[in-house]
Amino acid sequence: MAAAVRSQVISLYRMMLTESKKFPSYNYRTYALRRVRDAFRANGALEDPRAVERLVVEGQQTLALIKRQVRHTHLNDLIWVTGDGRQREMGRINKYNYFAKNDDD
């Protein structure tokens, strides 16, 4: 792989991982990190420049998708919570499961 393409792929990989870390949901976050890592590893030995370019374009589209979905799920996090008949302030719903927020793969 040419050096310019290689550095482009590596920067795409790093950006995808950075964006994937921002998912509030534990399951989506771990899936995105794992899938991105496994997909880049599986295609690591590819030499054909056309195939590589196609995958890079697909990766950029997926990066945009991840950014949109991260923003979307963040927006759906803040809701009105009523408890005991009183209306509470806008707060985060309990979205963390038994694993802490920063404990990802």
Partner 1 sequence: MYRVYFLIKRHELEIDELRPLYMDFQATTPMDPRVLDAMLPYQVNYYGNPHSKTHAFGWESESAMETARRQVADLIGADPREIIFTSGATESNNMAIKGVARFYKTKKRHVITTQTEHKCVLDSCRILASEGFSITYLPVQANGIVDLELLEASIRPDTSLLSVMTINNEIGVKQPMKEIGQICRSKGVFLHTDAAQAVGKIPINVTDMKVDLMSISGHKIYGPKGVGALYVRRRPRVRLEPLQSGGGQERGLRSGTVPTPLAVGLGAACSIAQQEMEYDHQRVSMLANRLVQKITSELPDVIMNGDAEQRYAGCVNLSFAYVEGESLLMALKDVALSSGSACTSASLEPSYVLRAIGTDEDLAHSSIRFGIGRFTTEAEVDYTAEKCITQVSRLREMSPLWEMVQEGIDLKSIKWTQH
> With binding defined as CB under 8 A, does residue 91 bind partner 1?
yes
> With binding defined as CB under 8 A, does residue 97 bind partner 1?
yes
Copy the structure tokens of residue 90: 């806008």
Of 95, 70, 56, 58, which is closest to residue 19 (Cα–Cα)?
Answer: 70
Report the residue from 32, 36, 52, 63 that binds partner 1 according to the rule CB under 8 A: 32
Q: From residue 59 to residue 78, what is the string marking binding to partner 1 with x (rule CB under 8 A)?
A: ------xx-xx--xx-----
> With binding defined as CB under 8 A, does residue 98 bind partner 1?
yes
Rounded to whole angstroms, the Cα distance separating 73 from 75 reads 5
Rounded to whole angstroms, the Cα distance separating 103 from 35 reads 17
Copy the structure tokens of residue 7: 């550095």
Contact residues for partner 1, defined by CB under 8 A: 27-28, 30-32, 34-35, 38, 65-66, 68-69, 72-73, 81, 83, 88, 91, 94-99, 103, 105
